[in-house]
Amino acid sequence: MHGATYAEARCALENGETSCEALVSSFLDRIEKKNPELNAFLRVDAEASLDRARTLDEERAHGNYRELTGMVVGVKDVICRKDHLLTCGSRMLSEFKSLYTATAIERLEQAGAIMIGATNCDEFAMGSSNELSHFGPVANPHDPSRVPGGSSGGSAAAVASGLCHTALGTDTGGSIRQPAAFCGVVGLKPTYGRVSRYGLVAYASSFDCIGPFANGIKDAFRVLRVISGADPRDATSANAEPPKDSDPDGSSLSGLRVGLPQEFLDEGLDENIRGAVTQTANTLQSMGAEVIDVSLPMTEYGIAAYYVLVTAEASSNLARYDGVRYGFRAEAASLREMYEASRSGGFGAEVKRRIMLGTYVLSAGYYESYYERAQRVRRLIWNDFDQAFSKVDVLLTPTTPTTAFKLGEKMDDPLQMYLSDVYTVTANLAGIPAISIPTRTDKAGLPVGIQLLAPAFEEGRLLRVGGAIENATSD
């Protein structure tokens, strides 16, 4: 059952064809065989996950099923689990154990899910390739010489290679959707505030979102419904109704208005991906949807505004890692030298680059020129989406400008690496939900993903339209 979706595994459980223990054992066997090449999992909780599976099987023997009984889940290593290592892919936290459990994990476990282990990621979730982990890069399951995308590349690779049913990732500027596109799986970034951030190690607090990877739309939305909802421990969490479970199998999309933003179809777009967007638009039209050209004129400023704002927030959030309270500590003659040596030795080059950029844009004399101006641009991008959604129900765009690139190809060119997120960052700037869905492969056999965006708290639209696309492309 390791290659099945959770929806299929659930049917097998209810029909008595398998057990939770058998599912976990199958995944553990596959991890043992596949993970040495992929490096998707940093740690695997074999005994604990088997014990958990046996407990759930005892419940099933008495006819008790929870919403996610037997779902096997990987967890990006920036999300807390009490008494488990929480490294954030960094030397800084390589020996740190979490003191509490994230709300999203608590809700998954209450629903019957099984956490099988911690997945690899770019250090402190800062990266677009998953080459920046202190514990080594992750390989793309479709071609191990290529990147899986970042920063949640371990979670995407784990789902794509059948090492778990679903996995949690985080998305600050595309870190769920970009690896989902590169690895050929579904990746969902919820509305900001839809899912509690309690227990998520902060990178950029006004951007960070927890969301699922899955091999199908239905599995992703099963996870989203469970982890959604207000949390008194997170003041930014929203008291919103869970996403509605509309039927994603219906072939008719009559009355649906789909916007095609022209700014997302520029000259830098790979022709295979352009073709996938065009084909998807034609498919939606054949189902009764109306495809309308729209404009998001502030899109060209998205990358610049994003990297000013997230580095500013990162500079503030990562100030806590000083070698005094927890994390890596270097020996030095004075307190100041200890701070410098601990942070220099504990952080990798990209994290230090972003801290320095963020400190610069917040510094006296530059705050108004950079940070304040970027906040104004953020509002204008928000306005663009508001205007577009007054005309259409969802937006259809590429997820990435290219398919997965070679390991090491962009490591010496940070700007080109940052531009990998050009089609994803604006959703985070505006706080709206977005999903990446696999549609085809290119001539090299690499997955191509397309992106759907909807107004805030309208994830149900993504389920309906994404399900229709999924069904059409799987026929």
Question: Could you write out the DSSP letters of every residue in 365-418?
Answer: TTIIIIIIHHHHHHHHHHHHHHHHHTT-SEEEEES-SSSPPBTTTTTT-HHHHH
> Which pLDDT does position 4 carry in this prediction?
74
Matching residue, tokens 């058998």: 22
Angle between helix axes 217-227 and 459-474 (nearest 10 degrees) is 160
- Cα separation values, 74 from 156, 299, 331, Å: 10, 33, 36
Q: Where does residue 70 fall: left (phi above 0), alpha (psi -120 to 50 degrees), or beta otherwise?
A: left
- Write the pLDDT tens digit of every residue in 78-104: 999 999 999 999 999 999 999 999 999
The structure tokens listed for 200 are 């998520």
The pLDDT assigned to 408 comes to: 97
pLDDT of residue 252: 80
- Distance between CA 442 and CA 273 in Å, rounded? 8
* pTM score: 0.96
Question: Which sequence positions are flagged as catalytic?
Answer: 76, 151, 175
Give, to the nearest 10 degrees, the angle between helix 271-286 and helix 459-474: 100
391 by Cβ neighbours in 10 Å (0-12 / 13-18 / 19+) ranks as: exposed
Residues 432/385, Cβ–Cβ less than 8 Å: yes
Which among 302, 315, 320, 305 is positioned nearest to 362, based on CA atoms? Answer: 315
Question: In this structure, how many other beta carbons lie within 10 angstroms of the beta carbon of residue 394?
Answer: 25
Cβ–Cβ under 8 Å, residues 311 and 361: yes
Domains defined for the chain, CATH in brackets: 1-295+397-475 (3.90.1300.10)
pLDDT of residue 1: 47
- Whether the CA torsion 294, 385, 355, 208 is positive or negative: it is negative
Contact call for residues 178 and 128 (beta carbons, < 8 A)? yes
Q: Which long-range contacts (CB under 8 A, 24 or more apart) does 444-448 make?
A: 444/143, 444/403, 445/142, 445/143, 446/140, 446/142, 446/143, 446/146, 446/182, 446/403, 446/404, 447/142, 447/181, 447/182, 447/183, 447/184, 447/403, 447/404, 448/181, 448/272, 448/273, 448/276, 448/403
Residue 290 pairs in a beta bridge with: 257
Residue 247's pLDDT is: 54
Quick: pLDDT tens for 163-188.
999 999 999 999 999 999 999 999 99
Distance CA 145, CA 446 (A): 12
Q: What is the pLDDT of residue 14?
A: 95
Q: What is the mean pLDDT of each run of 10 residues along the chain (475 residues)?
A: 79 95 97 98 98 98 97 98 98 97 98 98 98 98 98 98 98 98 98 98 98 97 97 96 66 91 93 97 97 97 98 97 93 95 97 98 94 98 98 98 97 94 98 97 95 97 96 81
Give CA–CA dist 354/465, Å, rounded. 37
